[in-house]
Amino acid sequence: MTGGRALVVAEDLCLSFGATPALRGASIAVTAGEIVAVMGPSGSGKSTLLHCLAGILVPDSGEITFDGRRVDRLPEQERSALRRDRFGFVFQFGQLVPELTAEENVALPLLLRGTRRAEALTAARTWFDRLDLDGLERRRSGELSGGQAQRVALARGLVARPAVLFADEPTGSLDSLTGEQVMDLLSGAAREEGTTVVLVTHEPRVAAYADREIIVRDGKATALSAALAP
């Protein structure tokens, strides 16, 4: 685990969906440069916790800070800007835009920031060699395998050099071998870039790539000791 300051901190988060509680006082601290795996059974609240940390959901109570700034108190417009400018995302099914080519999908976060198209595409193309995607730049999502599409999604999540990459079950739709290849690339690229990673998974083999595991049960989080990298 990387030493240093806590970059993302959540304290005593509570959140309910109607009468159903999802978080019941969850607390977590993630150090800058650390890769943390958030684990737990289905329905435990782990994805809800990730969405709160990323400013997608606002808790009913508790505090969330990113780089010393209260996230839970920000209006939606400012939380949206934070997600655009400081965070990256990788989801279980990639969620690529089908009308765009692979390189355009990767460039999308830069384009949304206002980067010129030519500059954004040039930056996007550098990731195709790094993630073993050479020759796939002009293909659309329907022309990619599941593993290829997820690597494109990973490149999209990292292209803008986010401070934090939030990954929600990034290997959940992949077979075990392809999932390990994606995790090798995710963890390697994140460490090269110095990116902090909050990774939700239910798979111990995926969690083994993290520096540390946090277990979520019944809406509460428990930190475990540092995990050994594979």
Query: What are the pLDDT tens digits along the chain (230 aa)?
Result: 445 678 999 999 999 999 999 999 999 999 999 999 999 888 889 999 999 999 999 999 999 999 999 999 999 999 999 999 999 999 876 689 999 999 999 999 999 999 999 999 999 999 998 888 999 999 998 899 988 998 899 999 999 999 999 999 888 878 888 888 889 888 988 898 889 999 999 889 999 999 999 999 988 988 764 433 33
For the chain, the domain total comes to 1
* Residues 208/46, Cβ–Cβ less than 8 Å: no
Q: Kindly give the residue spans of alpha helices, DSSP state H, lying in 13-162.
A: 46-53, 76-85, 102-112, 117-130, 146-158
Residue 39 lies in a domain: yes
Residue 81 lies in a domain: yes
Distances (CA, A) of 115 to 13, 34, 76, 98: 36, 28, 23, 21
Domain that holds residue 144: 6-226
| Phi then psi dihedrals of residue 96, to 5 deg | -75, 150
pTM: 0.89
The enclosing domain of 170 has a CATH number of: 3.40.50.300
Tokens of 200: 């939700």
